[in-house]
Amino acid sequence: MRLRKTKRVPFRSPGELDAMAAAGAVVGQALVAVRDAAKVGVSTLELDEVAESVIRGAGAVPSFKGYHGFTGSICSSVNDVVVHGIPSSTVVLAEGDLVSIDCGAILDGWHGDSAWTFGVGELSQADQDLSDATRLSMEAGIAAMVDRARLTDISYAIETGTRKAEKTFGRGFGIVDGYGGHGIGREMHLDPFLPNEGDPGHGPLLVIGSTLAIEPMLTLGTTETTELPDGWTVVTDDGSRAAHWEHTVAVTADGPRILTQRPA
């Protein structure tokens, strides 16, 4: 009898991880530039132009632009938009808006993918708690990316991080159904799909060099969403606000390595 070999999350060499980190650094630079430009009265299309300028100026190519027909270099998701918001001249930022920016870049054939949520001006306490909870959930998932872990160990860590955040902030958060992280490397989206909740101990094995994009999406209400007729924009069904944080991460002998670092 032949023993079945355990499936592994795809892995990269140290040099390939460095190449992915170079692509990720471009993404980090673009995100910081977009946040700096996100002021009252600025459109999400203008933010998109900022991101594309940074990416191309670094000798990279936007991952998102043209991807299955997507028109932007970023996904710009405002307030009740969870993910995949299309940059537009008609979406103009206002005081107190909660903005999630997802950005990707290709450099020398390798992809970086990262997202973060921030406020325009001063956020309400609920919105700030939501963004912080989503970040903490992502960080919990990152901490679980260790050698010999199973894929759903990360899912469980994200879910557990969310429930811990509920106790910390004294409010409930919805973990958006049907969306999650993914493998990444020479393509932006690779198997395996990474759920943002679930029991530990299942799925492919993580090994040194395995790479994943970890990206929880939380809401202040429902877990249910609807895709708008544009075929991209995903909104919460109850109109509650949403947040989205993401990093591309690798497993190393020294622990998780974030490949999409942002400049200070």
* Residues annotated within a binding site for substrate: 84, 189
How far apart, in Å, do the first and last CA atoms of the chain sit? 55
Binding-site residues, in ranges, read: 84, 102, 113, 182, 189, 215, 246
Of the candidates 47, 68, 87, the residue with the CA atom closest to the CA atom of residue 233: 87
Residue 202: how many CB atoms within 10 A of its CB? 13
Structural tokens at position 202: 């299942």
Q: Which two tokens stand for residue 98?
A: 């909660």
Would you list which residues are annotated within the binding site for a divalent metal cation?
A: 102, 113, 182, 215, 246
Q: Strand 234-236 to strand 225-227: parallel, antiparallel, or no bridges (unpaired)?
A: antiparallel
Token duo for residue 137: 């959930």
Identity at 65, one-letter amino acid code: K
CA separation, residue 94 to residues 43, 50, 62, 82, 218 (Å) = 10, 18, 26, 18, 22
Task: Give the Cα separation of 66 and 220 in Å (integer).
Answer: 32
